[in-house]
Structure 1
C-alpha cells in the first residue's frame, strides 16, 4: 500500500481480553457487519456509499468512515442511528470554544468546575481551583485525559454560562448539518434529565470539520502534554487516552465511554495527502475500538489507492 498509513489491511478484531460486555455495562452488538453490498446507494449528504464485501469486522453498534475532503462514504453501519456519544461531545466543545476564544485567553478555574467533574463521576484533568490556564492549555486537559472539569470551565466562561454554551453547541451542530445531534452538556456525562445523542455520521462530519482547526489537530494528535508550574498554576501532566496514536498515519481524535454509550472513538488517519475520518459507537470492549479503527483506516486507504 502506498502512503504513510501503512496499516494491516483486513486486521481482525482481538478476543475480548480483560473486559466483558457485562463488566462494561453494555449489550454486545452483532458479531460482524460489512457495509452494503451490490449497487452503491446515496448517503445522507448525497455522497455514494462504496459497495464492499471485504471490509473488516466491526463489533460496535454503529460505525462510519468517510473521506474528510470529498465526503465520500466508505463504510456505514447504522451511521444515522441516534445514540449517546459520551466524551466525543468534547470535540464540539473544543471546536466551539476556538470559534470565540483565542488560545492565549486565560480562564480561572473555579471550585464548581472541579466539583462538577467529581460529583458527576467523570474523568478529570485534575484541575485546581484558583489556577489560571490559557485556553490552549485547557484544550490539552479537555482532549487528552478527557477532563470534564476542563469542559465545565470552558463552557462556563464562553457561554457565558454552561446553559448558554450548550445552546450554542446545538446551534453549531445544526449549522454543520448535524441534524440528528442534541447536546445536553459540554462533556457527554449522563444527566438526570437524560443523555444527549448523536450519530456516527454526525460525529464524523464534526471530526472532519474540527481537524481543519490546526490547534485541535495538534492537541488531538499529542500523546502526552506537560505543563511546568508557574505563578499562575501548578504543574500538570496529561496523557492521551487514544491508543490509536503512534500508528503510522493516525492523527487523533477522541475517545469516550459511559455505561449507556459503551466505548466510543472518533478517529482519523492520513495517507497520500488524503484524510479519512471515522467513528465507532457502543463497542463493548475498550481495546477493540482501536484495532477496529486501525483496520478500517487501512482498508479505506487501500480502497482509495486501488
Structure 2
C-alpha cells in the first residue's frame, strides 16, 4: 500500500512538473510568432511604400531628362529652313513688274531670239531635274535601241538625297520606257540607268553631257550626273533656253515630255505614272516641250516651249519659292503676253535689272 501511494505522489509531482514545462514553451512560441508577424507586416509596408515611391519617380522625368527634352524641343523649333542658292545669293530681292516668285525668269521668242522677259538670266544656279532634258537629248542622239531591256541596279539608288522610287532594284524595263518615265515623271532611277547604260558607262555619259553643252554654246553649264539630284549640276536661264530650243527639234522628246501619263508593266504589276507638270493637262496651254525640277538648293524650276499669243516662246523659270509658285509664275507670264496692253513692253524686256550671280555649291 505504501509503495502505491509513494508512486502516485511522485507521479503527481512529475505530472505537475510536466504541466509547468509544457505550459511555458507554447506561450513563448506564440509571442515569437506574434513578433515575426509584426516584423513581416512592417517589412511589407516598407516594400509597398518603396514600390509606390519608385512608380511615382518613374512617372516624373528626372531633372536631367527634362533638361535634355527641353533642349531637344528648342533645337527642333529653332532650326531654320534650308535656303536655295538663289536665296543665299539674294536673287529674290530683285523686283520685277510681274511680281514673279521665281528669282530667275527668261522668256525668248523661239523664231526671232527676241528677249521678252529677263530677270537674272545670267545667274548660274543648280537646275535639279531640268538636267534630265540633256540626258534625254543624249540618249535620243546616241541611236541606241529603244527596245533594249535595261536593269535597275543598286548603283541607281539615290544616295545624294535619299529619294524614293517605285522602280525597285532588279526591275527590268526597255530603254524607251525608262526614257519616258525620266522625262515625264522625272524618275531618278530611270535617268541613272540610262546614263549607266550609255556606251562607256556613266563617266562617259557625263563627259558627253558636258561636251554637248560646250558644243551648244552653254558656257555657264556643268553636269556631274544625269538625274539632277546633285546641286553641282548648274546652268543659267540663257543656257537652258538654248537647251530647250535644241531639244524641241527632236520629235521623241516633244512627245515624251508632254505625255500626260504612262503605264508600265513590272512583273505582274501595272504601275501608272503621271506628268510632273499639270500645265500639260490645261487646255489653255499649247506646250511643245517641258521639264520640271526641284531640289532644296535649286528651288522649284520649270522650262517650256509653248505657243502663246501667236508666238513660239521658250520660257525658263528657276529658283521659284513655293510648291506651286512656278506654275503661278507661268500663268502670270501667259496672262501678260495675252494681254492687249502688257505691263512690260514687248521686246523691251523687264524693267527690273538683270543680276549676274555666280554661285558655287558648298563642298
For 2:261, the equivalent position in structure 1 comes to 224
> Using CA pairs below 8 Å that are at least 6 residues apart, which structure has the higher relative contact order?
1
Looking at structure 2, the residues matched to 96 and 213 of structure 1 have their Cα atoms a distance apart, in angstroms, of 11
Query: CA 1:89–1:200 in structure 2 vs 1: closer, same or farther (change >3 Å)?
Result: same
Deviation (angstroms), 1:274: 3.5
1:282 paired to 2:324 = no
Give ranges in structure 1 of 5+ residues lacking alignment.
Answer: 1-21, 35-54
Equivalent residues in 2 for 1:209-248, closer than 5 Å: 209-229=246-266, 234-247=269-282, 248=284
Deviation (angstroms), 1:98: 0.2
Deviation (angstroms), 1:281: 0.9
Q: 2:235 aligns with which of 198, 208, 214?
A: 198
Tell whether the 8 Å contact from 1:200 to 1:281 is kept in structure 2 after alignment. Answer: yes
Give ranges in structure 2 of 5+ residues lacking alignment.
Answer: 1-79, 348-363
Please tell me whether Structure 1 or Structure 2 has the larger radius of gyration of its CA atoms. Answer: 2
Looking at structure 2, the residues matched to 123 and 298 of structure 1 have their Cα atoms a distance apart, in angstroms, of 35
Tell whether the 8 Å contact from 1:107 to 1:153 is kept in structure 2 after alignment. Answer: no
Tell whether the 8 Å contact from 2:262 to 2:272 is kept in structure 1 after alignment. Answer: yes
Looking at structure 2, the residues matched to 243 and 277 of structure 1 have their Cα atoms a distance apart, in angstroms, of 18
Q: Deviations over 1:221-269 (max 9, x none)?
A: 1121112456xx8532211111222232342411111111111111231
Secondary structure of 1:270's counterpart equals: strand
Higher helix share: 2
For 2:285, the equivalent position in structure 1 comes to 249
Looking at structure 2, the residues matched to 281 and 83 of structure 1 have their Cα atoms a distance apart, in angstroms, of 8
Looking at structure 1, the residues matched to 143 and 166 of structure 2 have their Cα atoms a distance apart, in angstroms, of 22
1:78 paired to 2:78 = no
Could you state the TM-score of these two structures normalised by the residue count of structure 2? 0.64
Query: CA 1:269–1:216 in structure 2 vs 1: closer, same or farther (change >3 Å)?
Result: same
Number of residue pairs the alignment of both structures matches: 257
Deviation (angstroms), 1:24: 6.3
Could you state the TM-score of these two structures normalised by the residue count of structure 1? 0.75
Tell whether the 8 Å contact from 1:142 to 1:148 is kept in structure 2 after alignment. Answer: yes
